[in-house]
Amino acid sequence: MAPSSSSAASTFLQKPQTSPLARRSSSALLLRPRPRHNLVPLCRRQAVQELPAVDAAAGRTDCFGVFCTTYDLRADEETKSWKKLVNVAVSGAAGMISNHLLFKLASGEVFGPDQPIALKLLGSERSFQALEGVAMELEDSLYPLLREVSIGIDPYEVFQDVEWALLIGAKPRGPGMERADLLDINGQIFAQQGKALNAVASRNVKVLVVGNPCNTNALICLKNAPDIPAENFHALTRLDENRAKCQLALKAGVFYDKISNMTIWGNHSTTQVPDFLNARIDGKPAKEVIRDTKWLEEEFTKTIQKRGGVLIQKWGRSSAASTAVSIVDAIRSLVTPTPEGDWFSSGVYTNGNPYGIAEDIVFSMPCRSKGDGDYELVKDVKIDEFLWERIKKSEDELLAEKRCVAHLTGEVRLQ
Ligand code: LMR
């Protein structure tokens, strides 16, 4: 829990009407005095806006509705063998992605059918009623594995003891916007959430950043959480991997379960590099199955790079269901052993990487896991000139983004 300040009381906001369904702390909406930022480098169009930081000391996040009833996992032990409860925080919990994701988490499809789960839902003051609505739907779904649900707007409370933090909440990209436009706006959210994780989460929490620009948000988050291992932070590029698998399958005329070894290199942006050189189709190198090199280099690469933007044009909003599915895939890749010879893509912290990619950024690379929540980099993937040239562009973009958020990663101290 963050330090308390009774003098902060004068800055508190009025709390909204509380639904009788939600037993939450009456002081859940109290605000922490804002830090002062004098010198803020502007990298894109938006000026940095200060977020109202929430007063951690002021209240508690309480259980929701039926999840406040007591239960005893041991009572079921004659018929079931339960694992220890896993605590999962989800930010942006009232949003579209979460609306798909939470029900998958509660169903057991992510952590397994013998894994009871506690969901800790983080929303904003504005979304609080919607958050209650989500919690009500979770109640009504009667999931046997869902043992606790709590809702709140203070990351210092919601992240208490969490073992997984799925950071989805951020201002989404609208039509015509680049992900980098969101740097200033969203970076501050992730700085605050990094601090909160550092203060109250499990020391081995695994953090998956989804809110865009997710690589740099993950970097901001990990820099603000110095007591949590940097390798525990991921930026979601699994959606890009899934999109790439689908397009290769379509071109090769096979079902997409035949595609393996699909790496996305770099940033989750239009500079990302879907690696057709190392991808395999039914065990064979993709280039042996798809002989059309021009298609691979041009159309395939562009389609994956721009898929998110095209979806925004079609929907008028960001992808939600497929993003939720890819979050499930990303978690499952860490909690189940990677099949022999295969790998998955994740945006991870570069710290002694074998590919000569700049250190101290979050870069998508091929990873493997033993299923224990950790991963190791796949070290012997070949990179040709075509790939390398593009990997460098994505690296340049991430280094530029990093410079833009130096005030949030602690590299530039503000007066
Ligand atoms: C996506 O790739 O669909 C999302 O990250 C949305 C976006 O901003 O492109």
Residues 88-124 have pLDDT tens digits of 999 999 999 999 999 999 999 999 999 999 999 999 9
Q: By the 8 A CB rule, do 163 and 87 touch?
A: yes
Structure tokens at 160: 């208490």
Pocket test for ligand 1, best of 185, 239, 304, 318 (most atoms within 8 A of CB): 318
Q: Is 275 helix (H, G, I), strand (E, B) or coil?
A: strand
Q: Which residues does a 6 A CB cutoff place in the pocket of ligand 1?
A: 173, 179, 212, 239, 308-309, 311, 318-319
**Cα–Cα distance measured from residue 327 to residue 324, given in angstroms and rounded to the nearest whole number:** 5
Provide the residue count of the chain: 415
By the 10 Å C-beta count (0-12 exposed, 13-18 middle, 19+ buried), 46 is classed as middle
pLDDT tens across 243-260, in order? 999 999 999 999 999 999
Sequence-distant (6+) residues with CB within 8 A of 187 are 48, 216, 217, 220, 405, 408
Which has the higher per-residue pLDDT, 311 or 57? 311
Q: What is the DSSP letter of 28?
A: T
pLDDT attached to residue 284: 98
Burial 197-222 (b: 16+ CB within 10 A, else e): bbbbbbeebbbbbbbbbbbbbbbbbb
| Residue 42, pLDDT above cutoff 70 | no
Amino acid at 381: V
Q: Is 37 a catalytic residue?
A: no
Secondary element (H or E) of residue 114: none
Q: What's the Rg (C-alpha) of the chain?
A: 21
What is the distance in A from the centroid of ligand 1 to the CA of 186? 14
Per-residue confidence band for 382, with pLDDT thresholds at 50, 70 and 90: very high
